[in-house]
Structure 1
């Protein structure tokens, strides 16, 4: 499980990206790259990294569910994800 500080940092970045999204789009459309340089670095969407919403795990992230493969497997086995069943043939 990721440290709380790492998860908090990602949440803070996501908030900054949302806050500056409109301004970034306007500056990009105008071609004002000097003004773009003055924006905070964490306001860039490239700096975001997908993490599991429950554990904060950065690898094995499943976009459709927003959780990691490990958490997904545990929850699916426990029947906590609707519509997901274990395959058998």
Structure 2
């Protein structure tokens, strides 16, 4: 089992938000296992919730690896000053890149349930999990609207 700080660093690197990582780690540390919004599929041996999340993480890594190359080729392809032959070569090279290197194929998912729709972007949680955690005062700085 990883230490708390190592887990927090790993989650922060993966999610990009220190607040979300700290919230999730505090839930794990406190032993909150009674949350009804957590899925219970098969064995709990994987770091990711399900295969869809793993596929999305692989796509994110590949898009990051090919981002510079894709940006340069796209600039050549869209530049109308350059000759048509050069633009066509750039188009062919973009088509030869791996399909998963395209950032359009990346889907925002909930980090707890892997739900693809209704994701609250700042916390990377689905609306259902977000409301559950917010109602039980487990998200710092989040409260119900009162006026």
TM-score (norm 1): 0.90
Are positions 1:79 and 2:137 aligned together? yes
How many residues are aligned here? 89
Structure 1, residues 2-59: CA drift from partner, whole Å, max 9, x if none? 9611110011001111110001001111221110000000100111111101110011
Structure 1 equivalent of residue 63 of structure 2: 17
How high is the TM-score relative to the length of structure 2? 0.57
Gaps of 5+ in 1: none
Aligned with 1:30 (options 64, 70, 76): 76
Q: What is the root-mean-square deviation of aligned Cα atoms in Å? A: 1.6
Report the CA distance between 1:81 and its aligned residue: 1.0
Residues in 2 aligned to 1:60 and 1:29: alpha-carbon distance in whole angstroms? 33
Which of 1 and 2 has greater Rg?
A: 2
1:51 alignment partner, one of 73, 94, 109: 109
Contiguous gaps of at least 5 residues in structure 2: 1-38, 42-48, 78-89
- Note the C-alpha offset of 1:88: 4.0
Q: Distance in 1 between matches of 2:123 and 2:100?
A: 25
Compute the displacement of 1:64 (Å): 1.7
